[in-house]
A = this chain, B = another copy of it.
Amino acid sequence: MAEQNAVPVEASQSLPERPKDDASAAEDGKKGPSKNELKKLAKEKAKAEKAAKIKAEEEARKKEADANDVSKADYGELPMLGSQPYTAPETKVERVSLAQLADKYSTTEPDENADIVFRAEVENARNQSAKLAFLVFRQGLSTIQAVVAASDTLSRQMVKFSGSIPSESVVLVTANVKKPFEPVKSTTIQNLEVHVKKLFIVAKADAQLPMQVADAERPIPAEGQEEQQADDGKPIVTLNTRLNNRVIDLRGKHNHAIFRIKDGITLLFQEFLRSKGFMGANTPRLLGAPSEGGASVFEVSYFATKAFLAQSPQLYKQMLIAARFERVMEVGPIFRAENSNTARHLTEFTGLDMEMAFEEDYHEVVTMLEELMLFIFNGLRERYKKESDLVRSIYQVEDFKLPEAGKVPRLHFKEGIQMLRDDGVEIGDFDDLSTPDEKRLGALVLKKYGSDFYVLDQFPLAIRPFYTMPSAETQAAYDPKNPNAGYSNSYDFFMRGQEIMSGAQRIHDAAFLEKRMREHVTPVDSKSDGLRDYVNAFRYGCPPHAGGGIGLERIVMLWLGLPNVRLASLFPRDPSRLLP
C-alpha cells in the first residue's frame, strides 16, 4: 500500500498530491501522425510551453512573496502533536480560557498590548478582503470574534491563510484583546474581540462535514416532520441524522449545556446523599438469572452458560441493607429490553439508586427523597442557570415550578384518582395511571398546588413488584381470596406530570416475602437461582428499609423540557440504535 511508504507525520500535514495532468499527447498506436495531428501537436506544445512559463513565473512570484512574507513564522500547520518534540512558537506559555477572559474584562478595560495565547476551535472563518479576515473562535460555551488584519508586521498571505481555515479546525492563537467598535452580536462574548498575531492549525478539519454544528444548535423537528428547510430557509436536521453524526451534533453549545447539567444532577445526588451518610456501591450488572421478571431482560453469552443484564440494582441494594450498610447509593447503567420506540424510552440509561434502613415509618425515606429532589432542583437553579437558560433558549419551556422546602405535595393514590375523576376521567380505584392520565394529574396538581414536582403515595399493591410492602390497612384487611387487594407503601415522584422515580418500602421478612412471591399477580419462585440468595438475606435479621430509583436521563429531559429522552443521552441506545 502506497500510504505505508509515507512518513507517518506527514499524514496529518498535507493532502496527497493530485496526479499531474500528463501534458504530452497520447500515443495511440505505432502509425505516424497525420498533418492535422502534427498541427495539433505543435499547437499543444506551444500551449504547454506557455503554461509552463506562467507556472514558473507564478512560482517565482510565490518564492519572492514567501521570501518577503514577514509573517512566515507566525502561521501555518503544526506537525501532529506528539509526533515530534514540541515546536510551536509559544512553548510553556500559559494558555488562557475565553470564559475567564470574559470574566476578567467584564468590568475593567482589557490591556490591549498584552499577548494572550489560547487553543480554540474555529467556528467559522472568512476573508473580508485581501487585507482582512474575520474568524469566530470557540471554547466550550464561549465564542469570541477574531480579526486578522494585514499590516507591516502581518502579511496578506497570513490573512488569506487565516480566512481559509476550515471550520471546526483546532487552532493555537496568539493575540491581543481589544474592545470592538460596537458589541459583537454573533458571539457569546460581545464586549471583546481578539486581534490575531500568530495563528497555527493544531488539527485540521475536513472542508466538508456531514452536518454543521450550527444546524445541530436548532431544535429537532417535531415528530413526523421530515428533514427540510425551516421558514427561515435554514435546514432542519432530523434527530436521526444528528445521532448518526453525534460527535458533531454534541459540539452544539446546548448539548454541552445538557451534559454539564446531567453531570450536575449526578454530583448533586451524590453530594446530598453523602452528607446524609450514604455509601456509594457498585453492584453487578451481570446476573446469573433474570431476577425481576424475564420479559424485558437482555441475555448474555457467558462462557458455557448464560448471564442476564441488570434491570435495576434493586435486589442487590437490598442485600447491602441486609449486610448492614444502612444507607447505600449507586449511579450506574440500567438495561431494559423493552421494544419501545417512543420519545421516553431507552434500552440503556443511567440509574440513580438509593436504599436506606429506617426507624419507624417509611415516610422517613419519602421525606429524605423529597429533600434530595429539592436539593437537586435548587442546585441546578443556582449552579447551572446559564446552562439551563441556554438549552431553554432552543427548546422553549416554562421554568420549572418548585414548592417550598417541606411543602412538596404528597398525595395518597386515592386522592389522585379523585382529582382525575373530578376532572371527568373515568378510572377505577386501583387502576394504574396511563401516560395521558399522569400528565393530566400533573397539570391538576400544578394548578392546585403550584408545583411541577409532587409525590403520589400508597400505590395499589397489585400494580407494584412482589417485594413491595403492603400498607398497614391492607395487611389488616387481608383476604386470602384476594391477596393483592388494597394499597402498598410505595410511591412515585413526578416532574411535569411524568414519573421520574419509583420507590417503596420493601418486605424485610423472609417468610412474608415468600408468601407475597407466591400470591403476587405474577408469582415468582423464591427458590429460583436469581431469588434464593435474595430471600435468604432476610432470614439473617434485616432492618426495615425503603428506597427508590431515579432515571437520570428523564430528569434531564423534564428539567429542560426536551422533546425526546435521546437528547439527554450522549450515545443513546434504543431497539434500533446501537451506533455510534
Are A476 and B84 in contact (CB-based, < 8 A)?
yes
Are B333 and A282 in contact (CB-based, < 8 A)?
yes
Are B4 and A519 in contact (CB-based, < 8 A)?
yes
Are B84 and A472 in contact (CB-based, < 8 A)?
yes
Please name all residues of chain B whose beta carbon is closer than 8 Å to the beta carbon of A511 when the two chains form the complex: 3, 11-12
A171 — nearest CB in chain B belongs to which residue?
B541
Are A302 and B298 in contact (CB-based, < 8 A)?
yes
Please name all residues of chain B whose beta carbon is closer than 8 Å to the beta carbon of A332 when the two chains form the complex: 332-333
A204 close to B (CB within 8 Å): yes
User: Per-residue 0/1 for A487-521: is the Cβ within 8 Å of any B Cβ (1 yes, 0 no)?
Assistant: 00100000000000000010011011001101100
Which residues of chain A (349-364) have a CB below 8 Å from chain B? Answer: 350, 357-362
User: Per-residue 0/1 for A542-568: is the Cβ within 8 Å of any B Cβ (1 yes, 0 no)?
Assistant: 111000000010000000000000000
Please name all residues of chain B whose beta carbon is closer than 8 Å to the beta carbon of A358 when the two chains form the complex: 81
C-alpha gap A359/B203 in the complex (Å): 12
A309 close to B (CB within 8 Å): yes
Which residues of chain A (72-124) have a CB below 8 Å from chain B? Answer: 80-86, 88, 91-92, 95, 119, 121-122
A469 — nearest CB in chain B belongs to which residue?
B82
Of listed A209, A339, A530, A579, residue having the most chain B CB within 10 A: A579
Are A7 and B478 in contact (CB-based, < 8 A)?
yes
A203 → B minimal CB distance (Å) = 5
Are A570 and B320 in contact (CB-based, < 8 A)?
yes
A533 close to B (CB within 8 Å): yes
A259 close to B (CB within 8 Å): yes
Of listed A8, A82, A472, residue having the most chain B CB within 10 A: A82
A281 close to B (CB within 8 Å): yes
A534 close to B (CB within 8 Å): yes
Binds B, one of A30-38, A58-66, A245-253, A370-378: A245-253
Are B573 and A286 in contact (CB-based, < 8 A)?
yes
Please name all residues of chain B whose beta carbon is closer than 8 Å to the beta carbon of A299 when the two chains form the complex: 300-301
A480 → B minimal CB distance (Å) = 5
A117 — nearest CB in chain B belongs to which residue?
B359
Binds B, one of A233-241, A321-329, A410-418, A441-449: A321-329
A383 close to B (CB within 8 Å): no
User: Per-residue 0/1 for A176-214: is the Cβ within 8 Å of any B Cβ (1 yes, 0 no)?
Assistant: 000000000000000000000000001111100100000
Contact of A541 among B7, B168, B508 (CB under 8 A): B168
A307 close to B (CB within 8 Å): yes
Please name all residues of chain B whose beta carbon is closer than 8 Å to the beta carbon of A134 when the two chains form the complex: none
Contact of A247 among B326, B339, B536 (CB under 8 A): B536
A1 → B minimal CB distance (Å) = 7
Which residues of chain A (255-273) have a CB below 8 Å from chain B? Answer: 255-256, 259-260, 262-263, 266-267, 270
Please name all residues of chain B whose beta carbon is closer than 8 Å to the beta carbon of A350 when the two chains form the complex: 282
A462 close to B (CB within 8 Å): no
Please name all residues of chain B whose beta carbon is closer than 8 Å to the beta carbon of A347 when the two chains form the complex: 286, 302
A141 — nearest CB in chain B belongs to which residue?
B324
A395 close to B (CB within 8 Å): no
Please name all residues of chain B whose beta carbon is closer than 8 Å to the beta carbon of A284 when the two chains form the complex: 333, 348, 570-571, 573
Listed A/B pairs (26) with beta-carbon separation below 8 Å: A4-B483, A4-B515, A11-B511, A11-B512, A12-B511, A82-B362, A83-B470, A88-B360, A95-B359, A119-B357, A121-B541, A140-B326, A170-B542, A170-B543, A205-B541, A248-B540, A282-B333, A282-B350, A282-B569, A283-B571, A284-B571, A298-B302, A300-B309, A302-B337, A303-B575, A332-B333
16 further A-B contacts with Cβ under 8 Å, apart from A282-B570, A320-B570, A529-B579, are: A9-B512, A81-B361, A84-B472, A168-B540, A168-B541, A170-B542, A202-B543, A246-B319, A248-B540, A259-B325, A282-B552, A283-B571, A285-B285, A285-B333, A298-B300, A303-B339
| A binding-site residues for B, Cβ under 8 Å | 1, 3-9, 11-12, 80-86, 88, 91-92, 95, 119, 121-122, 138, 140, 166, 168-170, 202-206, 209, 246-248, 250-251, 255-256, 259-260, 262-263, 266-267, 270, 274, 279-289, 298-303, 305, 307, 309, 316, 319-320, 322-326, 331-333, 335, 337, 339, 347-348, 350, 357-362, 469-472, 475-476, 478, 480, 483, 489, 505, 508-509, 511-512, 515-516, 518-519, 529-530, 533-534, 536-544, 552, 569-571, 573, 575, 578-580
